[in-house]
Amino acid sequence: MRFRLLSVFLLLPLAAPFSQALSAADINLRMDRLSDSLNLLKVEDRSVVDQALTLIRQGENAAALAQLSTLTKANASNSSVRILTAYALLQAGNVLGAFDEARKAEASPNGNSYKCWFLAKVALLAGDKTACRREIKHVEHVGDMAADVKALKRELKKSN
C-alpha cells in the first residue's frame, strides 16, 4: 500500500505536462451511461458517489478521491466507480493515474460501450494512440455512440 501511494505521488509530476494542455473538461462525463453500474451499488455506496460528485464539482478532488478510493476497494469490479475515480484523477491533473483506472473500468464485467469510449478518450489524453484506436473500434462495433466516436476520431487525427 505504501509503495502504491508513493508511486502515485512520484508519477503526479509526470502528469503535469499533459494536464496543462488537456483536462477532464475535455471529457464528457455521462452519468446516464454510468447509471446501470451505479445502480448495482448498495444505497449507502450510492450516497458516497453523490458526495464524491459534489466534491468534484466544488473542485475538492483530493476529498473526492479519498471517498472514491474507499468505494473502489469495496466495489473493485464496478466500471462506473472506476470511471468516476479516473475522472477525479483527471480533475486533479493525474492523467497517468486516470489512464490506469480507465483501463480497469474497461476490463470490468459491467458497463456499456461508454467505458470503452472513456478509455479511448483518456488514452488520447495520455498519448497512447494505439489504445485509443483500439477502443474506438470497440465502440464503433456497438454503434450506439456514433457522434461521440466521430468527434474522438477528429481529435485523434488532430493529434497526429
pLDDT digit of tens for each residue in the chain (160 aa)? 333 333 333 333 333 333 334 455 678 799 999 999 999 999 999 999 999 999 999 999 999 999 999 999 999 999 999 999 999 999 999 999 999 999 999 999 988 999 999 999 999 999 999 999 999 999 999 999 999 999 999 999 999 8
In a domain, 24, yes or no: no
- Among 150, 113, 142, smallest CA distance to 30 is for 113
Residue 6 lies inside a defined structural domain of this protein:
no
Does residue 81 fall inside a structural domain?
A: yes
Q: What angle do CA 142, 88, 28 make, to 5 degrees?
A: 40
Residue 76 neighbours by CB distance under 10 Å: 11
Q: Is residue 110 part of a domain?
A: yes
With respect to residue 61, please indicate whether it lies within any of the assigned structural domains.
Answer: yes
